[in-house]
């Protein structure tokens, strides 16, 4: 199992960032998204909610990913699972309000854990672990940058 973590301080309230993370209609408008979000379940957002979204690899090629909410603590913590080829992923978003220069900001941490679920997943993890960790960290940093950009855009639109 490998774990990668990235943190960024975003100039937005935790409640606003939580909405950007959990309102599936807003996800398709995020800069990292390259297509619409396909919601696979009905009802309110919470454990069991599933969706598929098209994102982009670092090289710009499309990547379709499926996510399922496995835990939520509104405005504080969101845990998702995402199946992969031989590896399942657990993505944890943590939001911690902080005061910065008299303005409300949020420290956002995202952690991705990769758990091999097939024999070849273990072999690939062993052989490419460092490379995969660097790629995973890059993806998490892009996700944080996309979230910050979406928050800035919403603040600008509201003004």
Per-residue pLDDT tens for 106-153? 999 999 998 887 765 555 555 455 545 556 688 888 889 989 998 988
C-alpha torsion sign, points 42, 45, 46, 49: positive
User: What is the structure's pLDDT at 30?
Assistant: 62
Residue 156 is predicted with a pLDDT of 76
| Residue 36 pLDDT | 78
Question: In sequence order, what are the residues at sequence separation of 6 or more whose Cβ sits closer than 8 angstroms to the Cβ of residue 120?
Answer: 86
Helix (H) or strand (E) holding 105: strand 103-116
Tell whether the torsion through CA atoms of 2, 58, 106 and 52 is positive or negative: negative
Which residues touch 100 (CB under 8 Å, ≥6 apart)? 9, 11
Torsion on CA atoms 78, 83, 84, 88, rounded to nearest 10: 70
Per-domain residue ranges for the chain?
2-158
Q: Report pLDDT digits (tens) over 24-53.
A: 887 766 655 557 789 999 999 999 999 998
Binning pLDDT at 50, 70 and 90, where does residue 157 land? confident
Helix residue ranges, H only, 9-118: 14-22, 24-27
Strands laid side by side in the 77-83 sheet: 2-10, 103-116, 87-100, 77-83, 62-73, 50-56, 33-39
Class of the CATH domain delimited by 2-158: alpha beta
């Amino acid at each position: 199992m490998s774990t990668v973590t990235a943190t960024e301080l975003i100039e937005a309230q935790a409640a606003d960032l939580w909405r950007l993370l959990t309102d599936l209609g807003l996800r398709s408008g995020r800069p990292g998204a390259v297509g619409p979000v396909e919601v696979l379940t009905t009802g309110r957002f919470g454990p069991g909610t599933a969706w598929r979204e098209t994102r982009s690899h670092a090289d710009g090629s499309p990547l379709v990913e499926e996510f399922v909410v496995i835990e939520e603590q509104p405005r504080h913590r969101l845990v998702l699972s995402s199946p992969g080829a031989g590896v399942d992923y657990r993505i944890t978003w943590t939001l911690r309000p902080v005061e910065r220069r008299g303005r409300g900001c949020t420290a956002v941490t995202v952690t991705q854990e990769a758990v091999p679920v097939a024999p070849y997943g273990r072999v690939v993890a062993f052989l490419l672990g460092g490379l995969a960790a660097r790629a995973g960290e890059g993806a998490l940093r892009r996700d944080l940058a996309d979230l910050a950009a979406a928050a800035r855009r919403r603040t600008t639109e509201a003004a």
